[in-house]
């Protein structure tokens, strides 16, 4: 058994039971679903389709390996060293495991569909691939070309030697494509050194509080592509564009609820919600109470301060 096989066995033995050499199913006490596992001398490919009934944590120990998690459906979080990162559907997480082990948290009641590659340094040496530009600090969107390759992997029905040859080819395509994208990203960054993309996007979001800009519209406004914009924004502010937009709108709504007598539907419209019910639901997710409850609470606090004075 190789080191990679042993690592995989430690990761999955707690909640999976083997059906055959390449297929495992989830133990009943953990939920439903299956994991296809293909082991090579240079790494492991796992194709997971799970619905967990309880939270599950996986641990991958540190060693000279690279992990690529293409999450097609679901959500998870992982901790590397002291950093916790959230990984959402349609994103790929790229992690070097040499310095730290990896804790992966899989939440219950979430459909979880992932293609995970655990590649050793031997893979990159064997195929002459540079690793310097491989790893992103945060999960990034799966590109359309990567998505097409992943769909090919999911729908392939080959068996035995042909299956392994097919997977090797597709993994090489995925990793090579990543190198090309990294080069294109660097060129794009260098051509935009004269302006701060993330700052301009933030100012645009704040100046158009009465609407919801799509990523495509925002990227067009600041003069870049969607992938570069999302990466620069997350690195600069520590939030995704969606997270920052929500935060900005909800903080503005809090201020309006405390300092004005405007009806809730009018406040909703002012921050871009055409439907007051949708605004109320979003506000409650953000602040854990409804706009009306927040306003009443604010008024009670003002009355208390007035009485003290």
Cβ-based neighbours of 168, under 8 Å, separated by 6 or more: 40
Q: What is the CATH number of the domain that holds 246?
A: 1.10.10.60
Q: Are residues 68 and 181 in the same domain?
A: yes
Structure confidence at residue 186 (pLDDT):
54
Q: Where are the alpha helices (DSSP H) in the chain?
A: 3-12, 121-126, 144-155, 160-191, 197-207, 215-222, 226-237, 241-259, 264-270, 276-287, 291-308
Residue 207, phi-psi category: left (phi > 0), alpha (psi -120 to 50), beta (remainder)? alpha
Q: Which domain, by its residues, includes 210?
A: 197-238
- Give residue for tokens 């004005």: 260
pTM score: 0.57
Q: Are residues 81 and 212 in the same domain?
A: no
| CA atoms of 186 and 218, how far apart (whole Å) | 20
What are 164-201's pLDDT values in tens digits? 999 999 999 998 887 665 545 554 555 454 357 888 99
Residue-averaged pLDDT of the chain: 82
Residues of the chain with pLDDT under 70: 1-21, 99, 132-137, 179-195, 298-309
Q: Are residues 11 and 123 in the same domain?
A: yes
Closest CA to 85 of 68, 59, 103, 67: 103
Q: Are residues 266 and 229 in the same domain?
A: no
Q: What is the CATH number of the domain that holds 148?
A: 2.60.120.10
CA 32 to chain centre: 23
Question: Between the CA atoms of 145, 148, 150 and 151, what dihedral angle is there, to the nearest 10 degrees?
Answer: 170
What are 232-270's pLDDT values in tens digits? 888 888 889 999 999 999 999 999 998 888 999 999 999
- Overall number of domains in the chain: 3
């Amino acid at each position: 058994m190789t080191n990679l096989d042993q690592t995989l066995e430690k990761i999955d033995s707690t909640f999976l039971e083997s059906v055959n050499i390449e297929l495992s199913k989830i133990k009943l006490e953990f939920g439903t679903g299956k994991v296809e596992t293909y082991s090579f001398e240079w790494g492991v490919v796992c194709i997971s389709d799970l619905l967990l009934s309880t939270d599950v944590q996986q641990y991958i120990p540190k060693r000279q390996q690279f992990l690529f998690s293409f999450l097609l459906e679901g959500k998870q979080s992982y901790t590397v060293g002291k950093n916790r990162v959230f990984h959402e559907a349609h994103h790929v997480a790229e992690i070097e495991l040499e310095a730290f082990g990896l804790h992966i948290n899989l939440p219950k009641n979430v459909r979880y569909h992932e293609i995970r590659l655990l590649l050793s340094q031997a893979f990159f040496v064997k195929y002459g691939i540079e690793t310097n530009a491989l790893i992103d600090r945060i999960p990034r969107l799966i590109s359309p070309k990567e998505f097409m390759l992943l769909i090919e992997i999911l729908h392939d029905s080959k068996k035995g030697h042909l299956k392994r040859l097919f997977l090797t080819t597709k993994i090489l395509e995925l990793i090579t494509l990543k190198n090309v994208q990294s080069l294109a990203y660097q060129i794009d960054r260098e051509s935009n050194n004269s302006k701060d993309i993330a700052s301009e996007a933030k100012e645009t979001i704040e100046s158009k509080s009465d609407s919801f800009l799509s990523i495509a519209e925002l990227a067009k406004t600041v003069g870049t592509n969607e992938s570069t914009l999302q990466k620069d924004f997350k690195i600069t502010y520590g939030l995704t564009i969606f997270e920052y937009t929500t935060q900005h709108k909800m903080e503005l709504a809090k201020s309006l609820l405390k300092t004005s007598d405007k009806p809730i539907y009018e406040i909703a419209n002012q921050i871009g919600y055409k439907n007051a019910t949708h605004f109320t639901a979003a506000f409650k997710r953000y602040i854990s109470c409804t706009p009306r409850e927040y306003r009443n609470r604010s008024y009670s606090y003002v009355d208390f301060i007035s009485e003290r004075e």
